[in-house]
Structure 1
Amino acid sequence: MPLTVWLCPDDTTSPPIPPTGQPHQTPDRRAALTKICDRHRASINTTLARHIINATTGEGDVITEAFTTNHATLTAAAHLGRRALACVPHPPMAQHIGAQLRATLPQEFLGRVQMRPCRADQMHRGVADHLGRVSLVIAAPPIPRAATTHTGPRTASSPGGCPACLSDVLANTAFQTRSFLPAAYRILRPGGHLAVVTTARHLNGRLVDPAPEIIRQARAAGFRYSQHVIAVRVPVEGDTLLVQASPVSIGQLRDVRSRALPPAVRVHADVCLLTRPGDTSRGGNR
């Protein structure tokens, strides 16, 4: 299958630029600056969202996001002239994303985005008013709890913690990739696309790549596998990847004779592009 590489350095945790005339330290802006933990660095940032949206949709199309943990997809869609709906079933997460949106989007763009209080596996109910008319579903399923090591926080209970962690705790009990795929199929129009963003990770002492299983489950749900994209998540200078370890990763450095796994640095994410079979004559670049 065709393979593509996108340059998508992480930008979601950078301080957002407030709309013209908005004070720099409003409550919304302070909330929007909350850091996303290292465990969620594989989720979607605005650069990656722009790549996906431009490659699969046209101006005015409707986009839906499942497993939403930040404002990136909504912000990118609004700036690109699309309408976007995000499935955010947990009120604290919705409040955090709302603060991010108000701190980053001009007032006239806010009407292009909405959050719906529905789970990813129930999006066909939460966005029933767009059933069969959505052009793109974007999803970055949560990292399984068993895959998380002591290198990252397990909850968002500590002050200033990652707001996506609590959402994941609840999501992992009810949201499984296989459960949301049929719902995504139902809301997509014929020829619409599903983009699943994931990455290989350590699970019980071994490296596991979830992409092949996601593709298998998506095919079982009726999707056609279209393309695999490598999204490079670190800056590139010439032919060099500028990888910088976090303080937590540096703290994990061990004796070279140790049998323990070395610190993991996420350099890229995998984007599995799938298509609902049908007429592809509508929309943008397909």
Structure 2
Amino acid sequence: MTGVTDAGELPLSVWATAQTSPAAQRKGRYVTDSTAHPAKMLPAVAAHAIRQYTRPGEVVFDPMAGSGTTLVEAIDAGRRAVGVEYEPHWVSVARANLELARERGHDHDGEIVHGDARQLPFLLPERYRGQVALVVTSPPYGPSTHGQVVTAGTDSPDGKVHKYHHRYGSALDRGNLANVGHHRLLAGFTRILTGCAAVLRPGGHVAITVRPWREHSELIDLPSQIIACGQAAGLVPVERCVALLARVADRELVARGSFFQRDFIRKQREQGLPLHLISHEDVVVLAKPLVPRSTSLPASPDDGQVASRGGVEGSGRWQA
């Protein structure tokens, strides 16, 4: 397989993934505890990627599975699914969502493993090596979390706006990639993608949802940086798509911005920065070359983090 290394030359397609609201996409299909996750992927985004890049019966993997959106959409589509999640609470929620999917009659294989995705060689059983058709995931990044809100005049005891469910775990947990600096996030994500390359079959795809964000008014082009992470892991960029977060109507897009996104835009405009509400996410699509490359994992994490070797029985160390 050959690919285009210049992100500006990559093929582009637009995914209409917000024709229904996020709440409507999840209603009756996910347990209520899923709502508390600070940065849930739209189910329609995961479902589109799964339909586009896999066939029924193939394996879909999410190394940062969160509440299990990718896994649920995979088994609902007749695929097999496996995920890794760092926070124990979200492992439990993901398992509950998988069980709910089974109760709806979707009995395809689906499992979630607790552990640090930077240590994939110690987490997944050997049977997954070279068998995954598609990886779907999203790194934690920037201030663009979602969460919930208590607004003035409703349940707020002091008449003010209060945010909740808008942070990942404990802010003191430096093992969580959501709590490390930008450069360490990129180093950790490169390591995760290197592990993903080992479980991917030749020609398999990786779809990563990501968006640019601002830090101290400076635009961070995270999608291009994620492409570079993938190339460092031995993957080839093949597409850069647009997953809409707004509904397509007659000759216009109807925004579905969260309270936090609208609040962030308002504050930035008050400070003189003319930002606009985000109406899409980038979807970076990479592929594993058909010809094997030498991309073995380093002996120790290159981002300075040391993780436990938790996982499931039968796992061993393997390399790409």
Answer whether TM exceeds 0.5 for this pair.
yes
Residue of 171, 180, 187 corresponding to 2:177: 171
Distance 2:272 2:203 in 1: 46
**Deviation at residue 230 of structure 1 after TM alignment:** 0.7
Q: 1:101-140 residue pairs with structure 2 within 5 A?
A: 101-106=98-103, 108-128=105-125, 129-140=127-138
Q: Could you tell me which residue of structure 2 aligns to residue 7 of structure 1?
A: 16
Distance 2:219 2:24 in 1: 29
Kindly indicate whether the alpha-carbon contact (under 8 Å) linking 1:225 and 1:273 is maintained by their aligned counterparts in 2.
Answer: yes
Q: 1:222-237 residue pairs with structure 2 within 5 A?
A: 222-237=234-249
Kindly indicate whether the alpha-carbon contact (under 8 Å) linking 1:16 and 1:104 is maintained by their aligned counterparts in 2.
Answer: no
Residue of 47, 58, 62 corresponding to 2:59: 62
**AA in 2 matched with 1:139:** T
Q: How many pairs were matched up?
A: 257
**Deviation at residue 101 of structure 1 after TM alignment:** 3.5
1:195 and 2:207 are equivalent in the alignment: yes
Distance 1:209 1:36 in 2: 24
Residue of 30, 33, 39 corresponding to 1:31: 33
Distance 1:100 1:161 in 2: 22
Distance 2:268 2:221 in 1: 27
C-alpha RMSD of the superposition: 3.2
**Deviation at residue 160 of structure 1 after TM alignment:** 9.5
TM-score under structure 2 length normalisation: 0.70
The alpha-carbon distance between structure 1 residues 187 and 250, as it changes in their structure 2 partners (threshold 3 A), is closer
Kindly indicate whether the alpha-carbon contact (under 8 Å) linking 1:13 and 1:35 is maintained by their aligned counterparts in 2.
Answer: no
The alpha-carbon distance between structure 1 residues 100 and 260, as it changes in their structure 2 partners (threshold 3 A), is farther
TM-score under structure 1 length normalisation: 0.77
Residue of 192, 198, 207 corresponding to 2:219: 207
**AA in 1 matched with 2:88:** P
Q: Could you tell me which residue of structure 1 aligns to residue 71 of structure 2?
A: 74
The alpha-carbon distance between structure 1 residues 242 and 221, as it changes in their structure 2 partners (threshold 3 A), is same
**AA in 1 matched with 2:92:** Q
**Deviation at residue 180 of structure 1 after TM alignment:** 0.8
**Deviation at residue 112 of structure 1 after TM alignment:** 2.2
**AA in 2 matched with 1:162:** H
1:272 and 2:267 are equivalent in the alignment: no
CA deviation vs aligned residue, 1:172-212 (integer Å, no higher than 9, x gap): 34862212111011111111111111001112211212111
Distance 1:206 1:150 in 2: 18
Q: 1:252-267 residue pairs with structure 2 within 5 A?
A: 253=266, 258-261=270-273, 265-267=277-279
Q: Tell me, what secondary structure is at the counterpart of 2:13? A: strand
Q: 1:233-248 residue pairs with structure 2 within 5 A?
A: 233-248=245-260
Extract unaligned runs of 5+ from structure 2.
Answer: 1-9, 149-161, 292-320
The alpha-carbon distance between structure 1 residues 264 and 124, as it changes in their structure 2 partners (threshold 3 A), is farther
Distance 1:65 1:228 in 2: 19
Percent identity reads 22
**Deviation at residue 152 of structure 1 after TM alignment:** 7.2
CA deviation vs aligned residue, 1:123-175 (integer Å, no higher than 9, x gap): 233223211111111120111xxx3289979xxxxx99438721886233486
Extract unaligned runs of 5+ from structure 1.
Answer: 20-27, 154-158, 280-286
Distance 1:108 1:56 in 2: 23
Kindly indicate whether the alpha-carbon contact (under 8 Å) linking 1:199 and 1:211 is maintained by their aligned counterparts in 2.
Answer: yes
Distance 1:57 1:203 in 2: 36
